[in-house]
Structure 1
Amino acid sequence: MALMPKRVKHRKEQRGRVKGNATRGIQVSFGDWGLQVLEPGHIRGTTIEACRIAATQYVRGEGKLYIRIFPNKPVTARPLETRMGTGKGEPDHWVAVVRPGKILFELAGVSEEAARECFARVAYKLPLKVRLVGRTIKV
């Protein structure tokens, strides 16, 4: 089952542009290792679910996975071979809007090599460039 909100204020939204860098959610907060996105864009709810399954299958109960994004923006689509001028299409899928610097997933309780291998499998499923980041300790 793909991720989607329980209810929304507006059923259809405009697409908009993803400008600037992320200001929130840019540090590893929950785990020891994080997967940081380097490009702006949208990530589908089905993609997030596929990444979750790939990560949990690799970790196999040794570590804990944290998902830091949620798809809350509807994207509409028109049926194929439809003539012009019949209005906006119906909501087709849900996406999470991500800006560069946002932490997508976090892992706790695993070594760096295990986190690197796990996030390599996750990155293969993502449509954007990502990198592995570690937790920075603040004093």
Structure 2
Amino acid sequence: MKQKPNQLKFLKYQKRRNKGISCKRNFLIFGNYGLKSIENGFLNFKQIESARKSLVHNFGKNNKILIRIFPDKVITKKPLEVRMGKGKGNIHDWISVIKPGIIIFEIQSLNYELVKKSFYCASQKLSIKTEICYE
């Protein structure tokens, strides 16, 4: 998975407020089980990648695991001990905005017990509350 997008119209965006329910990406397309968010938050690349590694560790490399989110928003931060003003800070991290209802991961599998165990391990790596959804 790529860590950041290749090209953006603007490099630094405003933060905005993260509230409301997701109207897009809230149903399964490719798999028959999914990990669905139930609260607002942000996920950075390291959290997504560690959850993906946890899923691959539990399922093996032969199963199809799809990641439905991508870190495409920039978070900026000014260095320590710098006074206010003088413009926006440097790029600190790339994040993905998460709203309730967004499907984060999808898996094509038949064994529900294995799915339940692996999704629990993956959800421990994320900073938001999640639940399992299925067709």
- TM more than 0.5: yes
Q: 1:110, CA displacement in angstroms?
A: 4.0
Q: What is the one-letter code of the residue matched to 1:64?
A: K
Unaligned runs of 5+ in 2: none
**Are the counterparts in 1 of residues 109 and 115 from structure 2 also a CA contact under 8 Å?**
no
Q: Distance in 2 between matches of 1:96 and 1:109?
A: 26
Counterpart for residue 15 of structure 2: 15
Counterpart for residue 32 of structure 2: 32
Q: Say yes or no: does 1:83 pair with 2:66.
A: no
Q: What is the one-letter code of the residue matched to 1:90?
A: N
Counterpart for residue 56 of structure 2: 56
Q: 1:10, CA displacement in angstroms?
A: 0.6
Q: Say yes or no: does 1:111 pair with 2:111.
A: yes
**Are the counterparts in 2 of residues 18 and 40 from structure 1 also a CA contact under 8 Å?**
yes
Q: 1:86, CA displacement in angstroms?
A: 2.6
User: How many positions carry a matched residue from both structures?
Assistant: 135
Q: Distance in 2 between matches of 1:95 and 1:33?
A: 24
User: Structure 2 matches for 1:116-135, cutoff 5 A?
Assistant: 116-135=116-135
Q: Deviations over 1:34-70 (max 9, x none)?
A: 0000011111112111111111111112421110000
Identical-pair percentage: 34
SS in 1 for 2:14: coil
Q: 1:109, CA displacement in angstroms?
A: 2.2
Q: Distance in 2 between matches of 1:23 and 1:110?
A: 28
Q: Distance in 1 between matches of 2:80 and 2:53?
A: 31
Q: What is the one-letter code of the residue matched to 2:80?
A: L
**Are the counterparts in 2 of residues 2 and 46 from structure 1 also a CA contact under 8 Å?**
no
Q: Distance in 1 between matches of 2:49 and 2:6?
A: 17
Q: Distance in 2 between matches of 1:110 and 1:78?
A: 48
TM-score, reference length from structure 1:
0.91
**Are the counterparts in 2 of residues 74 and 92 from structure 1 also a CA contact under 8 Å?**
yes
